[in-house]
Structure 1
Amino acid sequence: MDHHSGKSSDHLTINVTRRDDPVSEVTEADAFASVRKYPNIVVRGPLFGLAEQRRGDRPRWRLLGELDTGFPQMARDELNSHLWFKAKDDTEDRTVRRSLLEAVARLETDPVNEVTADGVRYRIVRADEFTRIGDGRLEPPRATDPDDDGWDLDAPDPPSRSKGFVVDHAAAVGLTEGIDRAGLLRLAYTAERFPGDVRADSRRAVTTHPGVVLLPTTFRVVESKELSWSMVTGQYSTPQGARRALVHHLTRPVPQLPDLPDMPELPAWMKVDEKEQAVNERAAKKFMARRRPNELVLRGRRFQVVRVERVMRIGPDGPERPRPSDVDDYGPSKIQPTMDEHGVVTYGD
């Protein structure tokens, strides 16, 4: 791995600027009102993803996609494939391809959180996912959050607002975001539901990575339980994306399988009760008849579209990597066929 110097003190700077345009003023007012109504936060846990730092970007890093995986190894596998396909499709230079494939080979055997290939640093980065809460209710989408009104369940998801996001701690932000970040500087896991080593790593990170950056907001559907919440959908870049995912969850519970001869019968747990399905479809239809609804109650179950934030800790050398207490269910492995420096792929070895 190449060694890079030039560490910056930007991770200690929060640059707050006043924006006088009408859109920014409305957004700031909406944010202030929401923070007053939902003053506390609930941390769900870490998410992992990929970032790169090119020579001209230092000290800034750029996200390569969503931070939406729950385990570091899933992000390492994603990086493995990213570099393999760059070697396959994006270069004819044997030296560049060799550098990319050397990084792939290392990711196949070692649980590393950073590699350098063709002069670019690639890092597995972590962020903590949280939502705001007030009077026992999680924060719904804000009026100023990007949104739409479409209900086409087969339409592509809105473009990611995280992919390409520049992690720049010193970039100018509005007053509300500056206050939010200042309030998150000392954030650490304290709840007893987190194991001791997780809490210890969290406290340590406040010192080793004292800066924080807020990533683009995402949205999920959760089901409210008596003392907790459970996730129903993944994360979406707009509230409407999460609403469509809830409708999909209710009306398309299993894939539509072709009616083929000798097709084995579905197991009982995969079968859908027709009466229950009819109830779900009626509830979904009423939900879709409303404009930008954020709550659905169905047979005593309460589904909510919630606003989800992610905070990334920043140190002198950039975004935080996975912590020792961040666990994996499995280790590194070979996930792509063998390729040589000429781009020749060998299958079946």
Structure 2
Amino acid sequence: MSSDKSDDPDPLVMRVQVDDHPVAAAVEADASIARTRYTTLNVRGPVFGIATQSPPGHGHWQVLTPITDGFAQQARDSLNSHLWFKAKDDTDDPLVRRELLAAVRVLETEPVDELTVLDVRYRVVRADEFVFSRDSVPEPPRPTDPEPAVPDWDGYDDTPLDRDFVIDHSAAAGLVATTERLALQRLHYRGERYPPEVRHDSEQAMATHPGVVLLPPAYCVVEHTGDSWTPLTGLMGTPHGARRALTNWLIRFWPLMRDLPEAEAARYAALAREFQAQVRANSLCVDDRLYSVARVGRMVRIGGDGPESARPSDVDNYGPSQIHPVMDEHGTITHEDTHEDTSEEE
């Protein structure tokens, strides 16, 4: 008989592993140095993605879509697309396709945070994004963070963030990471700038989801403005991905967005090429603007039934909708014109 209760150990379980392998020791040393240099914790807010558990109610959760979306509805839309394309491309069985499309119809009309489809449990997973800083400057990449053997400045592909990451709070981790997780267990929104319902849900989460898992580090480019900083790019899987995004911005997007004269566009391109020549530089001044590559952390809260999902106080900018054409159980796709003519006949 199956059970709805997860086989995972208590959410507060943590296992520390001291690895004397030279690479592991170097990573641990870098983490230790970073925690002494960058001591101010800055919480940026929630991000969302989709994780799966199979069979439902048993085993660990595995990330399906990167936990980087700014709104839960974006993650639901990603799941909508995932199931729609599975129905389109991954089966010839009408019964299987029918079940997949039934889940798609639910996602088109309801802001659900969990679905079980074909013995796979899908959940919207919520994480808090944070950055450590020093003197208002975010922590840069560490020397042992992943870098390509041969930097590619012209491509767009990058190490996929979170791909197949298992959200396992009981997995062994280094001493610094475990200490960080212990400190983050008490993290919640306290400032008056947060609405009361946000502060309430955040405090409740410490009781309902007391455990913490750290997702793989991510990287983005930030712009420094006075004592604050603003993200310029989305999250990348490697520091090089963020550096490449910055040079693409300077070479391709700024000239178009600002309608720059040819000479000015060439100057920005030259700055980008100089930055590329340094290979692993993490900051760049452009006129009166300073851009840096920041190392971004994300934490997922864990409860007795797995990772935390969206909270009642989390806000979506839009609701569910149909984002793909209608498909029947035989795989026939109908491109319907949903525009209705509301004019009256005379």
Alignment of 1:235-250 (within 5 A): 235-250=235-250
Question: Distance between the aligned counterparts of 1:255 and 1:293, measured in 2?
Answer: 23
Aligned partner of residue 5 in structure 2, secondary structure: coil
CA RMSD of aligned residues (A): 2.0
Aligned pairs, how many? 336
For the pair 1:316 / 2:301, whether they are aligned, the reply is no
Question: Distance between the aligned counterparts of 1:192 and 1:286, measured in 2?
Answer: 44
Of residues 194-203 and 298-307 in structure 1, the stretch that sits farther from structure 2 once superposed is 194-203
Question: Distance between the aligned counterparts of 2:239 and 2:129, measured in 1?
Answer: 17
1:328 equivalent in structure 2:
316
Structure 1 runs (4+) greater than 6 angstroms displaced: none
Q: Is the 8 A contact 1:150 1:240 kept in 2?
A: no
1:280 equivalent in structure 2:
268
Deviation at 1:255, TM superposition (A): 9.0
Q: Is the 8 A contact 1:149 1:291 kept in 2?
A: no
Q: Is the 8 A contact 2:129 2:298 kept in 1?
A: yes
Question: Distance between the aligned counterparts of 1:180 and 1:296, measured in 2?
Answer: 30
Q: Structure 2: which 5+ residue stretches go unaligned?
A: 338-346
Deviation at 1:346, TM superposition (A): 1.8
2:116 equivalent in structure 1:
116
Q: What does the per-residue CA deviation read over 1:150-192, in whole Å, with 9 as the maximum and x for residues that have no partner?
A: 5544324222140110011111111111111111111112233
Deviation at 1:9, TM superposition (A): 3.7
Question: Distance between the aligned counterparts of 2:140 and 2:306, measured in 1?
Answer: 31
Of residues 215-224 and 53-62 in structure 1, the stretch that sits farther from structure 2 once superposed is 53-62
Alignment of 1:38-77 (within 5 A): 38-55=38-55, 58-77=58-77
Aligned partner of residue 45 in structure 1, secondary structure: strand
Question: Distance between the aligned counterparts of 1:319 and 1:211, measured in 2?
Answer: 9
Deviation at 1:40, TM superposition (A): 2.1
Alignment of 1:50-199 (within 5 A): 50-55=50-55, 58-148=58-148, 150=150, 152-199=152-199
Q: Is the 8 A contact 1:149 1:240 kept in 2?
A: no
- TM-score of the superposition, structure 1-length normalised? 0.91
Question: Distance between the aligned counterparts of 1:107 and 1:297, measured in 2?
Answer: 45
CA, structure 1 residues 168+57, in 2 after alignment: closer, same or farther (shift >3 Å)? farther
Deviation at 1:289, TM superposition (A): 1.9
Q: Structure 1: which 5+ residue stretches go unaligned?
A: 257-268
Aligned partner of residue 304 in structure 1, secondary structure: strand
1:300 equivalent in structure 2:
288
CA, structure 1 residues 46+56, in 2 after alignment: closer, same or farther (shift >3 Å)? closer
Question: Distance between the aligned counterparts of 1:225 and 1:183, measured in 2?
Answer: 29
2:231 equivalent in structure 1:
231
Q: What amino acid is aligned across from residue 324 of structure 1 in structure 2? A: P
Which of 311, 334, 346 pairs up with 1:346? 334
Q: What amino acid is aligned across from residue 231 of structure 1 in structure 2? A: P
Q: Is the 8 A contact 1:220 1:306 kept in 2?
A: yes
Question: Distance between the aligned counterparts of 1:196 and 1:153, measured in 2?
Answer: 46
Question: Distance between the aligned counterparts of 2:323 and 2:221, measured in 1?
Answer: 32
Q: What amino acid is aligned across from residue 323 of structure 1 in structure 2? A: R
Q: Is the 8 A contact 2:181 2:214 kept in 1?
A: yes
Aligned partner of residue 297 in structure 1, secondary structure: strand
